Amino acid sequence: MPNITVNNTQLYYEDQGAGLPLLFLHGWGTSGRVWGAQQAELAQDFRVVTIDWRGCGRSDRPLEGNTLAGVVADIAEVIQQLNLHRPVVVGSSIGATFATELALAHPDLLGGVIPVDGPAYWPGQGMPLAEIIDEMRYRRAEFLSNWVPNWYAPGTTPVLVDWTIRQILDSGVYIDELFHAFATYDPRPHLPLLGTPIHYLHGELDAEIPVEVARVCAALTPGAGVTVIEGAGHMAQQERAAEFNAALRAAVAGFRIPAAA
């Protein structure tokens, strides 16, 4: 298994293809496996890197470091260790928040950011975090069985929903600490300062983070654009993979990224 050690934690990653690097960050509790349809197609034209961030998937599950700052620091170190020159960071849900905060903290490190169904801001929009924190602590499996189907648009195959639940149950419990951090998270005051190219992709039917969140964030972000993936819920990259990949390619093509020296 390919692993990289960052901040005393082993992280699993996959690295295929050549060209402009695309670094994919999954959402809470899942893994780099959610980007399978993107790996299969985009590695023909890009260097595609997926990472299981700490506590998730095939990576270590440490008690410490499960914070916004901790995960962002991990990702910055991954970019440097893998020699990813000006990558476009594509983040889903909480991964979209990591990508946005990475661009704010390290504006010279990235070539672009593509938030997917995120980032949310609380209070006011997004998931009911107080309820989630309590339910995940004491009734984890039961709560997930009721919550995760809402991530997907009506009519999504139950196989995909069940697989998502299994990924979350296989991840570490310490990542729940992130819900406390995001209970007061609001990127809106900082978005006007963002100098990294950014384009929001969002599922039309997202019931967890409404599409209006992406429109509000884009309106505050210099030069930002929004593409709505029709018929998709909160996991647009899996629900409408072909449409998502086309939108992702178009967004990347719109970024002006300096070539490697």
pLDDT at 132: 83
In a domain, 215, yes or no: yes
Q: What is the pLDDT of residue 126?
A: 58
Q: What share of the chain is helix, strand, coil (3-state, %, to 5)?
A: 45, 15, 40
DSSP code, position 85: -
Q: Is residue 221 part of a domain?
A: yes
The CATH number for 188's domain is: 3.40.50.1820
Provide the domain limits for residue 39.
3-253
Within-domain flag for 260: no
Cis peptide before 222 (omega within 30 of 0): no
The reported pLDDT for the residue numbered 182 is: 82
DSSP category for residue 125: S
Q: Is residue 259 part of a domain?
A: no
Domain total of the chain: 1
At position 124, the amino acid (one-letter code) is G
What is the mean pLDDT for each group of 10 consecutive residues in the chain (261 residues)? 92 97 98 98 97 98 95 98 97 97 95 95 66 87 95 96 98 92 88 96 96 96 97 98 98 83 53
Which H helix or E strand runs over 5? strand 3-6
Helices (H), the chain: 36-42, 68-81, 94-105, 129-138, 140-147, 158-170, 177-182, 211-220, 236-239, 241-253
What are residue 30's phi and psi, to 5 degrees?
A: -95, -140
Residue 261 inside a domain? The answer is no
Q: What's the pTM? A: 0.95
pLDDT at 198: 97
Asked whether residue 122 is assigned to any structural domain, the reply reads: yes
- b/e string for 102-126 if b means 16 or more Cβ within 10 A? bbbebeebbbbbbbbbbbbbbeeeb
